[in-house]
Amino acid sequence: MGVLLGIVTMAVVAYSNSLTSVLLLRAAGLTGHDSYEGVAYAIGGKGWKVLTQVALILLLFGTVIGDFALLADVGQRALTRLTPGHAPAILAEHDGRGIMVLLVLLVVFPLCLLKRMRSLEAAAQAGVVIVGALAAIIAAEAARSGFPAIRSGELPLWGLKAGGDLPEAFAVLGFAFYVQPMLMPLLHELPPGPASVSLTATAVRIVVIGVASLVYGVIGIFGAARYGDKTQGNILVNRWLGGPAEGVLDLAIAAYLSISVPPMQMSCRYTLDVLIAGEDAPFDRRRHLVETCLIVFGSLAVALAFPTGAEKIFAVTGATAVCIVCYVIPVALHLKLYLSKSGYQLLEAAESPSLAEPLLQGTQEGEAKALAEQLEALQDSIGDIMNGVEAPCSASEEGQGRAQSGSPRRDSSRLSFRKAKECLEELVLPMLVVVLGVGFSLAALYVSLASAIWPDMSPEPDRTRTVLADAYNRTTLCCTES
């Protein structure tokens, strides 16, 4: 692919996921539902609700299974490097099944038993530090070695490298950037009202377009610049520190991966709980325990059967369920609202900044005030650039006020500009996201199935894509929204 095309692909995928996340949050704010399937049912009916539930469960189960498989790979390598020749066979052999079970029982399962996703904030902060350190180590090693793959032309800096892996790269990046299934459980834990919706939308933009893009870009580009065609599908297989320090790095990533699984599991449990007990069912400790055990140990059983299949699990899941959950459904629900005149008018009203504080229903005064202050601070810090996908209701009102003193020609040109801008933001861009998402996902699914059926005939995977294939930090980065 090359560096330039890799950056462009990552930017397109990041913006697409940010856009559809905001569209989904807007729909949730309008309908008053805090579950993905509840929003789908309110707008599209029973058929959309069933499709959403099936796609969500497949996506989240697949994610947890893939993360467990990665846990086996990273944990086994950490033991081998830290205690060469002395690691217990039950843990270090059998493709890492033993260490995977141990980490799931000691770290993953206790965290998954927590009731609220926001309880993971401390773990999320530790995870960001770990993955930030990994990115810094990779960048420093690439710079120290003089970026050999770029100097040799193995990794083009500005040009394009021939290859047919762009669709699979798009699908895997889409899998790495997706946060849509986690938005509803997180929104459910916040005070009801437009302020919570706006706060979550702002957090999504910061996490997806800012933090995640920076981390993925540094790891992917600098890793490929260091090793070129020798970059492994799991970047930790390559040598970065040497000696026991390499094992310490693997151990840190194994711990990080362990704390990145619970957000996915909690999102899956939330969907399963809505399916079993309904959206507004009161909390039941026994049901909570049963659902948690079903998801964790069901996923563990599949991962034990296929401990080395993480990359293919991610590729196939990213090419199917991610496409439906993150692109097709959010855009379809948005278009149904937008093309309905009354629905769009309600949507504009729901997004009006002046409604943020008065509509904080059912919250204590102190909590509502604190939430409103957080929203104002975030909006001031990022400016108008990050608000590009919001409905242009406030801009329209301001423009109409100024237009009263302008000439008819200027009024007409301003109105035409507003309509063109609205059409671009509300129709053209969402539909373009769906076309790209579906097209590349179908192509990636074909590549994944072909490589599984005819491994000798499958093309060499793109280095930038494979470096990013283990971007499991998407889960913990999402936790920082809270």
Supply the CATH number for residue 218's domain: 1.20.1740
Q: Tokens representing 69?
A: 């498989």
pLDDT in tens, 246-300: 888 888 888 888 888 888 888 889 888 888 887 777 888 899 999 999 999 998 9
Has residue 18 been placed in a domain? Answer: yes
pLDDT at 172: 65
Has residue 363 been placed in a domain? Answer: no
Residue 305's pLDDT band (boundaries 50, 70, 90)? confident
Has residue 128 been placed in a domain? Answer: yes
Which domain range does residue 315 map to?
Answer: 3-356+369-479
Has residue 364 been placed in a domain? Answer: no
Has residue 399 been placed in a domain? Answer: yes
Which amino acid belongs to residue 392?
P
Has residue 173 been placed in a domain? Answer: yes
Has residue 111 been placed in a domain? Answer: yes
- Report the number of distinct structural domains present in the chain: 1
Which amino acid belongs to residue 422?
E
> What is the rounded (10 degree) CA torsion for 190, 383, 10, 221?
-110
Of all residues in the chain, the percent with pLDDT exceeding 90 is 7
pLDDT at residue 151 greater than cutoff 80: yes
pLDDT in tens, 157-194: 776 655 556 656 666 676 677 788 888 888 887 777 78
Has residue 86 been placed in a domain? Answer: yes
At residue 446, φ and ψ (nearest 5 deg) are -65, -45
Q: What is the DSSP letter of 447?
A: H
Mean per-residue pLDDT over the chain, rounded: 74
pLDDT at residue 463 greater than cutoff 50: no
- The mean per-residue pLDDT over the stretch 49-55 comes to 88
The half-sphere exposure of 93 on its side-chain side, counting CA atoms within 13 A, is 6
∠ CA(416), CA(418), CA(424), 5° rounding? 100
d(CA 387, CA 342): 23
pLDDT at 104: 92
Backbone conformation region of residue 327, classed left if phi is above 0, alpha if psi is from -120 to 50, else beta: alpha
pLDDT at 457: 47
